[in-house]
DNA sequence: TATTGTTTCCGTATGTCCTACGGAAACGGG
DNA sequence: CCCGTTTCCGTAGGACATACGGAAACAATA
């Protein structure tokens, strides 16, 4: 449960792993059965299929037909493995795009969103103390470059950066949260909500919730689409409005 | 690990607990040693002090000097207990405020942020399938009422609502993530980052990260404050810009 | 007071998890 | 064939949620 993350270990060791600093070939000694890359790939595969909860050291080792403890020769611990997984999937973003600064940020948001869609377990990875690997850093540079081109002052760029980054990861996370729960519980978001329709009958109260009632009566909730489509729409809307605000504040 | 949540159980039973539907007094049978309220209060106390990971059924039972399995008489399971905890702390928001719709939304954001600050474990509670109790619903009504007063069309109100709600919870969550990790690992965010200063020496590259380098040289990162203060600033900035955007889009 | 129906309490057991420890196994070079 | 080096991995300890079923407490009744 809770926010899965590393951080505890030796920073130098973790950074060396993230950047795949040459493991200085060992001419002697037993040959490794697995590599760091294989471990990370297998871990991502397990998490994609069964969620981060199911991504146990034992499960990954089993995937590679290797003893559990063998993994610890190549990776300091589970936290660091999650760092490696996160940075690896963030590298899947293809951040080459021309266009206005707004277009570039929307491109960044789209690519990041795609990462979360492909790897729903990213919801459980905290980005407050992020893995400082190439995947994350390239993304930071991309967004900062776009914002710097927008005409904002340097100090404003860094503040706006945190806001944008927070919005993008946060929105991608909640959007994906739904699928993640659907996979784990075997119940889709739409069916979860309809099973709770009883709420309106038994507990809702026009006196207490007049706005909700009148919005409902006005048909504001007849989206005509799935929950996923609605969330996607709000994602786009929110980012658009945030960028509008940033742009408007530059005058 | 991962997103802690309930949802699995019988919706009617969970809703009855959330709304504290009268437990129809039992005139016969053994007297309960604990009540639902006591369990929820104890669970919140443990989570506040040691995080949601430490909030195990055994730990809560110990707190109440009761056997672990006794809790299951009053609460269906851990997931439902977390729902009850979340809705309870959301009720701590005092959502009575006059003023413009913007002022009311900022009030809502402040109160919600305060809840996360007081209960950092809220970061780990998914709001995608939220506990439909009074704490959550009163908040929804408050935000919807403010947006409806802003002059937006009903359909727009619901879209804007999801965006605002997502931003508020998301920003409060990341802001608090830092403290949560600090408590769990015993290392503050500021010290975590300074321990990773080696990154700039060993891996950063002016060729690869020109914008970051130039922003650094321009002093954009000399905030003169703690990490927490910086995050707080970005929270306010982001909400302001989002509301600017929503307001601007109404014309 | 003894019995009975009802409700709550909780010990046990199962199958998970991470990882510290230390010995066994494989390998290149002498 | 031996030895230093490196990797492999079995065992063990101390968590976790919760299904099951019997024991214990209580009010009403006999």
φ/ψ bin of B223: left (φ > 0), alpha (ψ from -120 to 50), beta (otherwise): alpha
**B158 reaches A (C-beta below 8 A):** yes
Per-residue confidence (pLDDT) for residue B63, from 0 to 100: 94
Picking from B120, B189, B240, the residue whose alpha carbon sits closest to that of residue A127 is: B189
Per-residue confidence at B251, pLDDT binned at 50, 70, 90? low
> Is the per-residue pLDDT at A56 higher than 70?
yes
Per-residue confidence (pLDDT) for residue B222, from 0 to 100: 83
Other beta carbons within 10 angstroms of residue A239's beta carbon come to 23
The pTM for the full model equals 0.90
pLDDT tens for residues A184-197? 777 888 888 888 87
B13 vs A20: CA distance, rounded Å: 52
A149 vs B52: CA distance, rounded Å: 42
DSSP-assigned letter for residue A32: P
List of residues 6+ apart from A70 with CB closer than 8 A: A33, A34, A61
% of chain A surpassing 70 pLDDT: 95
**B202 reaches A (C-beta below 8 A):** yes
> Is the per-residue pLDDT at B13 higher than 70?
yes
Per-residue confidence (pLDDT) for residue B213, from 0 to 100: 92
% of chain B surpassing 90 pLDDT: 61
> Is the per-residue pLDDT at A45 higher than 80?
yes
Per-residue confidence at A1, pLDDT binned at 50, 70, 90? very low
* Mean pLDDT, residues B204-214 taken together: 92
> Is the per-residue pLDDT at A7 higher than 80?
no
- A74 CB less than 7 Å from any atom of strand C: no
Beta partners for residue B125, in sequence order: B4
Picking from A102, A73, A86, the residue whose alpha carbon sits closest to that of residue A4 is: A86
**A13 reaches B (C-beta below 8 A):** no
Per-residue confidence (pLDDT) for residue A2, from 0 to 100: 40
- For chain B, the average pLDDT equals 89
- A30 CB less than 7 Å from any atom of strand C: yes
B70 CA: nearest nucleotide by C1'? C9
Cross-chain CB nearest to A137 (options B145, B195, B209): B209
Per-residue confidence (pLDDT) for residue B22, from 0 to 100: 67
Range of weakest confidence among A74-88, A127-141, A197-211:
A197-211
Mark yes or no for CB contact A132/B196 under 8 Å: yes
């Amino acid at each position: 449960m809770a926010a899965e993350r590393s951080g505890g270990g030796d920073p130098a060791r973790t950074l060396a792993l993230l950047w795949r600093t040459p493991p200085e070939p060992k001419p002697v000694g037993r040959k490794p059965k697995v590599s760091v890359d294989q471990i990370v790939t297998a871990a991502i595969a397990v998490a994609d299929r069964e969620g981060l909860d199911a991504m146990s050291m034992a499960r990954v080792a089993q995937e590679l037909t290797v003893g559990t403890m063998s993994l610890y020769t190549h990776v300091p611990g589970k936290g660091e493995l999650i760092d490696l997984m996160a940075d690896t999937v963030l590298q899947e973003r293809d951040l080459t795009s021309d266009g206005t600064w707004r277009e570039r940020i929307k491109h960044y948001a789209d690519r990041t969103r795609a990462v979360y869609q492909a790897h729903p377990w990213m919801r459980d990875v905290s980005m407050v103390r992020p893995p400082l690997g190439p995947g994350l850093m390239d993304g930071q540079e991309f967004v900062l470059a776009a914002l710097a081109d927008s005409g904002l002052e340097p100090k404003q760029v860094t503040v706006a950066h945190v806001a944008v980054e927070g919005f993008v990861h946060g929105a991608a996370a909640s959007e994906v949260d739904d699928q993640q729960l659907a996979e784990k519980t075997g119940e889709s978001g739409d069916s979860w909500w309809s099973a709770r329709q009883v709420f309106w009958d038994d507990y809702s109260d026009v006196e207490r919730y007049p706005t909700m009632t009148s919005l409902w009566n006005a048909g504001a909730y007849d989206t005509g689409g799935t929950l996923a489509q609605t969330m996607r729409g709000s994602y786009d809307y929110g980012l658009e409005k945030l960028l509008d605000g940033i742009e408007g504040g530059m005058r």
